[in-house]
A and B are shown apart, each in its own frame.
Chain A
Amino acid sequence: MSFLEMKNVSLGFGPYDNRTEVLKDINLSVKENEFVAIIGFSGAGKSTLISLLAGLTQPDKGQVTIGGKVIKEPSPRLGIMFQNYSLLPWLTVYENIELAVRQALPKLKGKELVEHVERYVGMVSLTPALKKTPAELSGGMRQRASLARTLAMQPEVLLLDEPLSALDALTRANIQDEIIRIWENDKRTVVMITNDVEEALFMADRIIPLTIGPEATLADPFLVEIDRPRNRAEVNNNDTYKKLKLDVTNYLIGLNDETKKSKAKIEIEMPDVQPLDLSKPLSKNVQV
């Protein structure tokens, strides 16, 4: 039973006579409480895809639905966590999250609201930085604050747009664990965009590659049938993990080669032009 669906979705940019189709015929169906990772090269249109899911962008063709209803605008049901944190720099961590919670859960008031915000800040281990502004935080802390803000809105679907791409390897692993832990405690549908095969394998139930744009589309999914909870150390020795990693990587490399081949066909004909020699007077034949 699919919960979040994209049907024949296409989207392009540019003027009508020179339109670049970024995404073409995207079909995606995510089950409730499923963790799906979409993997692709940079520039493939991954962020555009997540904007479509979040309702920030409307498709040219096809439709995006949640629980059977068409997504026409952003809503609190769809929690998006942006690639570059997007915390408001003039507010503290607490205020950033509070603003979001007030909007998403207007029923919370007073003490309940404070407790709600503090619970989510605690969940991402940011309690000591509650009163700090984003400028005073490290990249990882900002990313966690952004995660807390998205989670605190209690969305039905969590859309993560390369949430960890800007972080160093250690912090990255740390936050991966944190996202998984939170997700396992409080199951919900997750669509995560990433360009890291290991990250996708470690976190997701299903990996869907996005082919290289323009006219990118979703390829056949890889099912990650590794038991949860997954242990970072052990998973490396898991045969399924190793095989999948090889398969996904090969598939992606194949995609890349294909594009290169297709690109190699294009030959630009150079005009037959000789440069002018400006050292000699040009006006030999000119009659004055």
Chain B
Amino acid sequence: MELKYKILKGLDVSGFAVFDPVVRLAYGEEPQKQIRAIGKFIIVPVIFILVCFALTDWIAPKHKTKSGQVPDTATIRKSAKINHLIAKREGIKTVDFLREGADREKTLLEVQALIAEKVAIVDELKAELKIQEEAYKSQLDAKLKPIQSKYDALKAKYKEASNARKAQSKALATQVYNKQVEPSELVALLKESDAQTEAERAELDILKNQLDEKRSEKYEPLELARSNVDSEADALMFLKTREQLLTSRNRSVKVAEAVEKKQGIADSFETATSESKVLNAAKGLVRQELSIERLESQKYAPAATIYLYIQRSVFTVIVGFLLAVIIGIPLGILCGLNKVFMACMTPIIAIFKPVSPVVWLLIFQIIVGAFFPNPDTHPLFVAASNIPWVQTLGVNPAMVFSACTVAMCALWPSLVNTALGVCSLDPDHVNVARVLRLNFWERLTKIIIPSALPLIFAGLRISMGVGWMVLIAAEALSSSDGLGKFVWDEYQNGSSLTFANIMFACFVIGIIGFILDRVMIVLQRIVSFDDSGASV
């Protein structure tokens, strides 16, 4: 029973009170009431979401844009799968690069076996594709033929008619020249003839459009065969890369080669015929040793994947958020404590708060950029490359601008809410502080901050939300590897999955934003002493 109430309390604190009846039902508490609650607040919303998906699937294919068709849910799922697959493959490649000894040889054999298999499959699929192409051509011809022949016939007929009209007008022109007919008659004839030609052309165009339409009609079996070949060929390509990473591009192989070369140079001392050759050999040996050292510490540099983007974005937003907190809360406390300071800060807050994140990004890019003339050797980045997880993210100046932009925009809600929290200190509590004769520091830590904490955390929650929104825009603009850049690159690159990838990123961004917000809600609920609770 203890556990039940702990779970219920946990759900309440984390803002998942909607699952309350599920837990109660599991404990057999008033089943009918719980089932009714589940029906109303879980099943109905789930059905609603499913209806939304169904509507999307119905409406999306009806809208074709320049960047392709609006993706339905299946396409978005496919995009998610592909992004996951890419990430998984990069992981495998990273491991392959480092394999050595028997492990490498064993894996190499496995990969080669897989390649042989894949080649067979791809060949088969290519043959199938050829068949489908033939089939497509023949069915297309069958469809085109009647229209084509009609078109050809009509075209020939109109050509003849047009020639006849030309001859007629020529004849009339001769008559006009001989003053047998008024020129106006010729003009009228030409006008009529032009109109006729125009009408005929329009008629031909209709048929031509029909032909084009038929040609651009998708032939499902062919599309399927093509995408099968594409995906299998892609897999084959991946396996071939693996093979390379296990052989010529493998670290241990490269190291072994270098060691062998070094040995060769060392041996050449004995056969050296002159002083200068000895010197050259010694120089070569030094170089070779250095390159072996470098090779030994080398790692595979995987291509950026969606998971790296997610990690970088979350890391950047947290850094930016912490910067905002470190600046915003002390300033907010000062504002709340001192009316003069508040009066000084008010114009600054009022003017800078509404400035667009894009402007801040550009400003930071210029200002912060000046601090990193040589990012590779800058102590900040050197330090970042030595912290466990952080080093895998690749901290770079673009990330710093983005974090600064996040901080600048997330600063205000924290600052303003903290100031408000400190200002609205209960006069009774002030009296308590006076009666207890607390000094300034004790007042601050024992009365002012605890009493302002609920509002401070409400501000932090808003800051986090603002920060996450700003970050995505900042990344798109600053090209800091992250979800924002992912979206921007997709928009720029334009592949068949562009639109689906953007929609997929939309869901990823939303879900991460939701999780961040929930974390903030939990923190807020933990520190609030009044049972006010947080709105969802």
Interface, chain A (partner B; CB < 8 A):
54, 56, 73-76, 78-80, 82, 84, 86, 88-91, 99-100, 103-104, 133, 135
Q: Check A82–B436 contact: CB distance below 8 A.
A: no
Q: Check A90–B450 contact: CB distance below 8 A.
A: yes
Chain B residues with CB under 8 A of A56: 431, 434-435
Closest to A84 in B: B428
Measured in the bound complex, the distance between the Cα atoms of B530 and A80 in whole Å is: 25
Interface, chain B (partner A; CB < 8 A):
428-429, 431-432, 434-438, 446-447, 450-451, 453, 529-531
Q: Check B431–A75 contact: CB distance below 8 A.
A: no
Measured in the bound complex, the distance between the Cα atoms of B436 and A73 in whole Å is: 11
Chain A residues with CB under 8 A of B431: 56, 82, 86
Q: Which of A74, A79, A135 contacts B530 (CB 8 A)?
A: A135
Measured in the bound complex, the distance between the Cα atoms of B433 and A73 in whole Å is: 12
Closest to B439 in A: A103
Chain B residues with CB under 8 A of A54: 435
Closest to B528 in A: A90
Q: Check A90–B451 contact: CB distance below 8 A.
A: yes
Closest to A85 in B: B428
Q: Check B429–A88 contact: CB distance below 8 A.
A: yes
CB distance from B526 to the nearest CB of A (A): 11
- Chain A to chain B contacts (Cβ below 8 Å), 6 pairs: A56-B431, A74-B435, A76-B437, A88-B451, A89-B451, A90-B451
Chain B residues with CB under 8 A of A100: 436
Measured in the bound complex, the distance between the Cα atoms of B453 and A33 in whole Å is: 42
Measured in the bound complex, the distance between the Cα atoms of B529 and A130 in whole Å is: 17
Measured in the bound complex, the distance between the Cα atoms of B434 and A84 in whole Å is: 16
Chain B residues with CB under 8 A of A73: 434, 437
Secondary structure of the B contact surface, majority rule: helix
Chain A residues with CB under 8 A of B438: 103
Q: Check B450–A88 contact: CB distance below 8 A.
A: yes
CB distance from A157 to the nearest CB of B (A): 12
Measured in the bound complex, the distance between the Cα atoms of B438 and A76 in whole Å is: 11
Measured in the bound complex, the distance between the Cα atoms of B451 and A187 in whole Å is: 35
Measured in the bound complex, the distance between the Cα atoms of B457 and A90 in whole Å is: 15
Besides A54-B435, A82-B431, 5 more A-B contacts (Cβ < 8 Å) are A74-B435, A82-B432, A86-B432, A89-B530, A135-B530
Measured in the bound complex, the distance between the Cα atoms of B531 and A82 in whole Å is: 23
Measured in the bound complex, the distance between the Cα atoms of B425 and A90 in whole Å is: 13
Q: Check B437–A75 contact: CB distance below 8 A.
A: yes
Central interface residue in B435, B437, B446, B451, by most chain A CB within 10 Å: B435
CB distance from A182 to the nearest CB of B (A): 19
Measured in the bound complex, the distance between the Cα atoms of B118 and A94 in whole Å is: 73
Q: Which of A82, A90, A103 contacts B428 (CB 8 A)?
A: A82
Q: Check A133–B435 contact: CB distance below 8 A.
A: no
Closest to B438 in A: A103
Measured in the bound complex, the distance between the Cα atoms of B230 and A225 in whole Å is: 106
Closest to A104 in B: B436
Central interface residue in A54, A73, A74, A91, by most chain B CB within 10 Å: A74
CB distance from B284 to the nearest CB of A (A): 72
Closest to A76 in B: B437
Measured in the bound complex, the distance between the Cα atoms of B438 and A262 in whole Å is: 46
Q: Check B432–A135 contact: CB distance below 8 A.
A: no
Central interface residue in B429, B446, B530, by most chain A CB within 10 Å: B446
CB distance from B203 to the nearest CB of A (A): 70
Q: A84-B428, A86-B428 are in contact. Are A103 and B529 (CB under 8 A)?
A: no
Chain A residues with CB under 8 A of B529: 89-90, 133, 135
Chain B residues with CB under 8 A of A133: 529
Q: Check B446–A80 contact: CB distance below 8 A.
A: no
Measured in the bound complex, the distance between the Cα atoms of B528 and A90 in whole Å is: 8
Measured in the bound complex, the distance between the Cα atoms of B438 and A161 in whole Å is: 22
CB distance from A102 to the nearest CB of B (A): 9
Q: Check A80–B429 contact: CB distance below 8 A.
A: no
